[in-house]
Structures are given as C-alpha cells and as structure tokens.
Amino acid sequence: MDNQRLFLYGALGLLILVIWQTWQVDYGSGSAAPGGAQPAAEAPADGNQSAPQPQDTPDVPVADSGAQGGAADQSSPETAPEASPQLPRGERVHVVTDLLDVTLDTRGGDMRDALLRTYESDKKPGQPVQLLSDEPGRMFIAQSGLQASDAPAPTHHSAYSAERDEYRLSEGQDTLSVPLTWTGDGIRVTKTYTFHRDSYVVDVAFRVDNRGSSEWVGRTYRQLQREKLAEGEKPALLPTFFGAAYYSDTDKYEKLGFDDIVEDPIQKQVEGGWAAMVEHYFLAAWIPDAKDANTIYTKALDPDTPNVRYIIGSYSPAQRVAAGDTATFDTRLYVGPKENGQLEGTAKGLELTIDYGYMSFLSAPLFWVLDYIHSAVGNWGWSIVLLTLMIKLLFYKLSETSYKSMARMKKMQPKIQQLKERYGDDREKMGRAMMDLYKKEKINPLGGCLPIVVQIPVFIALYWMLLGSVELRHADWILWINDLSARDPYYMLPLLMGISMWTQQKLNPAPVDPIQQKIFMALPFVFTVFFSFFPAGLVLYWLTNNVLSITQQYYITRYVVGDQRRPQKAGS
C-alpha cells in the first residue's frame, strides 16, 4: 500500500513538475522588462528608391528572378537604426464592426489598434480587450506593404490618403470596405481593408494600377511587429506560450520564442501557411492564399538594447504589371480570440495556436465534449462538473480495481502492525513477512497502480484543455465564481479541495512509516496553498474529481469489499 500511495502522490508531483518546467521554458528566460517605446524608423520619401530601405521591411531585394519564381536572395539583415520614442503617425481612421473596434493609420495603412468588443479586459473592467496597440511599452501592430524593383511602391512607412475618418458596420450590412490610396510616379495603389460581420478575419487587398510607361515589378509583404510585455502585463503562473508562430504544410506548426528570433532568424519558402504572434487567449495572424508560394521571415530590431522589437512576416513572389495594366495582391488578417469555431474555418492549422501543451491529441477531443455539454446546459462550470462525471464513469472499472486494492490493504492494517511490532527495525525480515502476508491473502500491493497510470494522461490533458480555452475566460459559474479562468477570490474552492483530499486520505490505510504519515498529513495543506493560485475552473475539476472519488471509494470499501453486504432489494 505504501508503494501504491507513493506512486499516486509521485504522479501528482510529476504533474506539478511538468507545469513548472513548461512555465520556465516559456517565461523563465529573458523575462526582463523591456524599456520604452519601440517605434519604426522614419521612411524615405515616397518614390525615392535611392534612399536606404527601412530596417523593419523584408531584407531581400525584389529581383527579376523573384518575378520568375526563382529562389530569393538570402541577404543578411543590417543593423537597425536607433529607435525613436514614438511610432510615426499619420491620420487616424476609426472602424467599428460588431466584433472589432479598429484604428488604421494613413502612415503605411497599418492596423495600429484593435479592440475585441465582446471580450472584457482584465486590467480595465468594463472595457474591451485591446489586442493591437501602438502605445510605447506595449507595441503590437499589423503592417503590410509593397516592394518594387527600380520603381515606386508604398511600404508600411508611406503616406496614404483616406476618404473618411470613420466607418461603421450598419445593421443589415455584412461587409464594410475601407479604401486607402497612394500615388507615386505613375503608380496608383489602393489598399482596401474589408471587414465582415461575425468574423475576426479582415481581407486586405493591394490594387496596383500602372499608369506609367514602363513595366512595374513588385511584391507584397505582411508582418506583425511587437515588443515583449512588461512584467506587470504578463499573466501570472500560467504556463502558456507567448511569442511568434508559423505554419506550413512541410513544417506544420512551429513556435518561435523571442530569444529564438534574436539568435536564429528564419527565412524560408513555404506553400501558403501563415505567420502569427500568439499570447494566452488571443492572436494576430497574416494568412496569404493557401496556393501561393511565400517566404516566411523573422527578425529582431535593436536586439542589443532594451528596446528590442520582434517581427514575423511573409512576402510573396514578385509580379509583373505591364504599363496600363492592373494587378491585385490579396491576403487576410486574423485579429481575435483563440476560439475553436473561428480558427478552424479560417486557415489550416490555425487552431493549433490554442495551447494544449503536449497532450493536444487528448485535450482537443475533451474540449469538443465539454463544448457539446455546454451547448446543452449553457454554463461552463456545470459543464466541467458533468465532464468530470463522464470521465469518472469511463474509468469506473479501473478505479474500482484500485479502490478494492486499497480496501483490502486497509483490512490488513492490524496484521501489518503486528508484524511491525514483532520485527521492529529489522526491515529485511519485515519486508519478507509482508510479502508472505500479501501472498497468503492474495493481495497485489501494486494492484492499484495501473488504473492510476492510465488516468494520468487524461488528467494532464484536461488540465491543459481548461487552461487554454478562451471560452472559460470570464465565464460565470455560481455565486461569487464569475470567472473560471481566474483564481477564486475567496479561496473557497481550494479550501474545499484540500478538505476533500484530507477526507480521501482518511479512507485509505495509514502508512506504517511514521515519517510517511507526517508527509501525507501535510500534503492536503500543501496542495491547498498550491491550488489557491490556479484558475477556478481547474480547481473545480479537481474538487469534483475528489468528491466523486470519495463517493466511489466509500461505496466500494463499504459494500464491495467490506464486511457489510450490498443493500438488498425488497423481496429478494
């Protein structure tokens, strides 16, 4: 029994170790708070191709070989210029849809601010989540532009003009288009953002109208630029990934920490795919056409200073636009939450940004079941309770084996105590005597371990699923529990969980070793403190699981293995 008990608590300790190690990987290194603002460098005048290129645009020049679909020139990034205190700004264009509240800037046509209207901010109650921002200290913006070979083209530093300064999606209107225009030396470019009702996907199109007398050769690029969150902005004790990511059919889903971008910038050609900046519950991702060949790149600006900025993006092969002709470059931008329903239909592999850890193959099906239950009961808290009940029923027979073993061991406690009194400190004789007793009573001291081993992956997968699901963010349950993704403000759930753990111990035989007895007596208090920092949804799962386990173990101990028989039906 001691071995079995040690194995159980060792498994729980292993789970905590895995959580801690993952937290260390994602947050332990390079966690120093960044310095001030991280603005881009001033751009050269529009159409001045002899001026040096800004350092936050793709490094590879637009060559004729690119127009023919050849390999891109793998040139090395140059040293970034010294950062200025504020991103250059032009005129602001305010766009409001049913889900998004966005600010575009005529300087480059960037998306500078993005508020998610249906998600409430943790820092500012009553205000929507701000995902994109060009504020100093927390810059996160979406940039896109064109680059041309020996011809004018608007980068994200160029000055556009806007027809209006505000656009709103009206009732009954499904799409909203926001055009921005740029002209230079016979080239007219219209950059159009198209917003859609009930969607976080924004279509971005560049229409190139060549009114000059010579051919125009150019390409489009799109990138996300951000700086690290300050220490006060980081989520506490949540081991979720925060950084860049990309997807391709060959590499599949790849995560890139900020240190990776500094130490080993990438530049690789892929088919389709996407590039994103990811945080706990939200992300922004540029998604080119799945059939296009693109080059994904990363770079760090000012890497040797506190004002480091991180970029991930992609650029397309060059296209030729004959004099008097037009061409269109299309791409999409996702700015929103990691909702399964939104991500799965947007781009292949985008749902992988939901951080289910190493147990995605189990966590994803568990969320599907949880979501199905929620569609019926309408409350995420009760959905967690019902899902836990379903899991306990699924593993009932395995748990029954474990609890039977514990019950038989408990009945053997008087005999084990007699052996201890007989052999005292002679551990060798004590061990042989206990093994003889187990053999005589036909008890396998490790008989309950296999059920525990089988269930551990499910417990870990459920942990990651509950931790990574944005649907639980600010989800109400009952009474004061109005956010299942945050810790219980009154610590009642952790306290009840500790009591349930203590009760479970009382149903099990006490260890023979006095030192082990003291350790096990302290564990409920240790776990109560530890779970006090966990989101309420996770603590609710553990509490429910413990209560169901106590009920099952009490029944098995009393009626299946115990001296009393099961209650008989009347007349039997």
List pLDDT tens digits, range 78-127: 333 334 347 889 999 999 999 999 999 999 999 999 999 999 998 888 89
Nearest in space to 388 (alpha carbons), one of 466, 491, 502, 486: 466
Cβ atoms of residues 108 and 160 within 8 Å = yes
The strand pairing partners of 111, in sequence order, are: 104, 142
Give phi and psi for 130, each to the nearest 5: -105, 105
- Tokens, residue 26: 């994602």
- Tokens, residue 82: 């010294």
Cβ atoms of residues 2 and 420 within 8 Å = no
Q: Is the entire prediction scored with pTM above 0.75?
A: yes
Cβ atoms of residues 119 and 128 within 8 Å = yes
Look up tokens 């603590």; give the residue. Answer: 539
* pLDDT confidence of residue 407: 67
Nearest in space to 360 (alpha carbons), one of 371, 374, 349: 349
- Tokens, residue 220: 């489009």
- Tokens, residue 425: 């400190």
Rounded Cα distance, 92 and 87, in Å:
13
* pLDDT confidence of residue 457: 83
3-state DSSP call for residue 21? helix
Query: Which value, to the nearest 10 degrees, does the dihedral of the CA atoms of residues 271, 277, 279, 284 take?
Result: -90
DSSP string, 363-420: HHHHHHHHHHHHHHH--HHHHHHHHHHHHHHHTHHHHHHHHHHHHHHHHTHHHHHHHH
Rounded Cα distance, 76 and 173, in Å:
47
Rounded Cα distance, 174 and 399, in Å:
53
- Tokens, residue 317: 């092969």
* pLDDT confidence of residue 50: 30
Cβ atoms of residues 82 and 184 within 8 Å = no
Look up tokens 């309950």; give the residue. Answer: 448
Amino acid 76 reads S
| Domain parsing of the chain, residue ranges | 2-21+363-561, 31-35+90-355
- Segment-wise mean pLDDT, segments of 10 residues, the chain, 572 residues: 47 53 42 32 35 60 45 34 62 96 96 95 89 89 92 92 95 95 93 97 96 91 86 52 90 91 91 91 93 90 83 93 93 95 90 85 91 94 94 80 68 73 72 76 62 73 85 89 88 92 75 66 84 87 88 73 48 44
- Tokens, residue 25: 């990987």
Rounded Cα distance, 448 and 569, in Å:
31
* pLDDT confidence of residue 485: 83
* CATH number of the 31-35+90-355 domain: 2.70.98.90
Sequence-ordered alpha helix ranges (H) in 252-337: 258-263
